[in-house]
Amino acid sequence: MEIPLSYPSPSGTGGRSYPQPPPPPGASAGQGSGGGGGNKALVVAVVFLGFAVLVAAAVVFFTMGRGAEGEGSPDASQEDAQGSGGESGGGQDGGQDDAAAEDDAGQEPQDTVVFDDELTVEVASPQSYIDLDTDPPLVTDARVDGYDFVLRPNINGVAFENSSGGIAPLPEGAEAPDKAACLDAVETNGTTGADFTPGARFCVQTDQGRVASVEAVSSPGGTGTATLQATVWE
């Protein structure tokens, strides 16, 4: 036999009472009160993450700005240009110096000419003296120390003489010799005298060791005016 249960009826329900439904599974008793705390933690986390992102972006922007400033600096570009220009210029100068040294090595030294002109000699008796070591050469009818040759009138016209054997007549019609050819002629064919006739050429070694080439431009038939072309090398 069932015994009916009776509950005190709250006011205004007409004497009936209804039990409260049980809570859903997994729901905790403090869910209502803890919801506000979870929302606050989420907001704090979002704010912190946003701040961290801003800081990281600022660092990256600052770093990129410094790098661009260093690359685009006019001073740095100018220094690089000057450095590269100096290196290329140094290499070019070095190449020019080497080329000049090679050219100098390949060229023979030039003979130094100390006199190259005509001389007029008054052929007098007994003889006229010519010294090619002076500048200009000395022509006199008085004997001087260190003279290099004499022009002396004789029965054949005019004699070209040097008592020490320092003259060498060149073949008729020969071209004007250079210093080396003249020195070789004196060393191999040196003599004390020859006829001074128009067109004749001679090589002479002077008292001071210089070398000279002498050509008879004109010659008198004894005493008179003779003209000669003289080239003297140091």
Give the tens place of pLDDT for each residue, 146-158: 999 999 999 989 9
For residue 107, the model assigns a pLDDT of 62
Q: What pLDDT digit, counting tens, does each position of 137-187 carry?
A: 999 999 999 999 999 999 989 999 998 899 999 998 888 899 999 999 999
For residue 32, the model assigns a pLDDT of 43
Handedness of CA 161, 165, 166, 171 (dihedral sign): positive
Extract the tokens encoding 115: 């006199």
For residue 65, what pLDDT band results from cuts at 50, 70 and 90? Answer: low
pTM of the model: 0.56
Minimal CA–CA distance to 163: which of 123, 204, 193?
193
Burial track 203-221 (b if 16+ CB lie within 10 A, e otherwise): bbbbeeebbbbbbbeebbe
For residue 16, the model assigns a pLDDT of 53
For residue 30, what pLDDT band results from cuts at 50, 70 and 90? Answer: very low
For residue 125, the model assigns a pLDDT of 93
**pLDDT: is 105 or 233 the higher one?**
233
Nearest 5°: phi and psi at 202? -140, 150
For residue 128, what pLDDT band results from cuts at 50, 70 and 90? Answer: very high
Q: What pLDDT digit, counting tens, does each position of 70-103 carry?
A: 555 555 555 555 555 555 555 566 666 666 656 5
The answer to whether 215 touches 200, Cβ cutoff 8 Å, is: yes
For residue 91, the model assigns a pLDDT of 54
For residue 169, the model assigns a pLDDT of 96
For residue 56, the model assigns a pLDDT of 77
For residue 26, the model assigns a pLDDT of 53
Q: Among 18-22, 26-30, 76-80, 223-227, name the one with the lowest average pLDDT.
A: 26-30
